[in-house]
Structures are given as C-alpha cells and as structure tokens.
Amino acid sequence: MALVSLVIAPAHAQFGGLNLKKITRDASNLDSDGCPKGKKKSIGGALLGGVVGQMAGNAVSKSGVGAWVQIPDVEGQLTKSIACKLDPQEQVQAAEATLTATRSNSETAGEKPDVGSSASWNSNTREGVSGSSTVVGRNNAKGGKGQDCLTVVDVIIVDGEETRATKQMCRSPGSKRYEIVA
C-alpha cells in the first residue's frame, strides 16, 4: 500500500520537505562525516543517497545528536580523517595505540618516547580493519612554553584501503600524555 502511494503521489508530495538542488550539489563535495570521498558516485546513486542522507540528517538534527560524535576517550589522540572511518571501539583501539607509541620505555619521570616507537592494533569488531601509530620525529619548536612535541603518523587499513594521517602532538612539562596540537 505504501509503495503504491509512493508511485501514485506527485514528486513534490513524496519529497516536499527535501531540497533536491542541495542534495545533488552536496553529493559532489564531501561525505556527511567529513571524510574525503573515495570513488565517484553515479548521479542516480548520489541522488538516492542524498535523499536518504537528508532525511536521516533531518531526523538526527531534530533529535539534537550530531552526525559524527567524538568519543571523549579518543579526543586529542585521533585526527578526524582517521576517526571518522572507524567504529567507536576501533577509535578506542587506535587511541590506545597512539598512547602506547608515545609512552616512554622508561619509568623515569620526564623521559621521552623513542623516535620509531610504534604500536599496532587489529579491530575486535570488523574483519579487515587494522592500524598503527608510529613516532616519526621530534619537533619541540612547534610547542613552545617548554612543551615536548612529537610527529606521529597513524595508518589505518579498512577493507584493503589505506589511510594515513600525520599529526603533531605535544605535552606540557609535568604531563604524561601527548595531545594533538593545531
């Protein structure tokens, strides 16, 4: 019955609340989660995806929940380009790898992690998803105010597709944890 009414009703009645110009224009820019697009979408697929996405976006915005929710446990540890491709449990695993890679091998206070220090993880929730964090350099000029700064590269593989993100991380004197700096 619903399918019949969908076919019989005019398009403006079926999609009256939707802005079809916005759907086709936005579909060519970025995905709704801010991640760069992979493959180009067909016009039909983009239109259908845009309609469904706009309907879902309208429902989400009315509920007061954002499209991508940053988990407090990973804030300051993951870039958006990495986090938005991972489910919440994988985000925690990736953040833990960053914390491990940026941790000193010594128990002495103020010790610095070695360049080349690395930690890897495999998803507990999805097949074909893994990642690593590696300290690739020091850049104390980036921080200022006595901060100790590192350059860290995150690599994730999701279904055979590799994504890399380089991040600058600093910690203030007396702090044990490095966090991403702008």
The rounded distance, in Å, linking the Cα atoms of 113 and 91 is 22
Burial class of residue 1 (count of CB atoms within 10 Å of its CB; 0-12, 13-18, 19+): exposed
Span 101-128, pLDDT tens digits: 998 766 555 678 999 999 999 999 999 9
Predicted model pTM: 0.62
Span 46-80, pLDDT tens digits: 444 444 445 544 443 443 333 445 566 677 899 99
- Within 13 Å of residue 89, how many CA atoms lie on the same side as its CB? 7
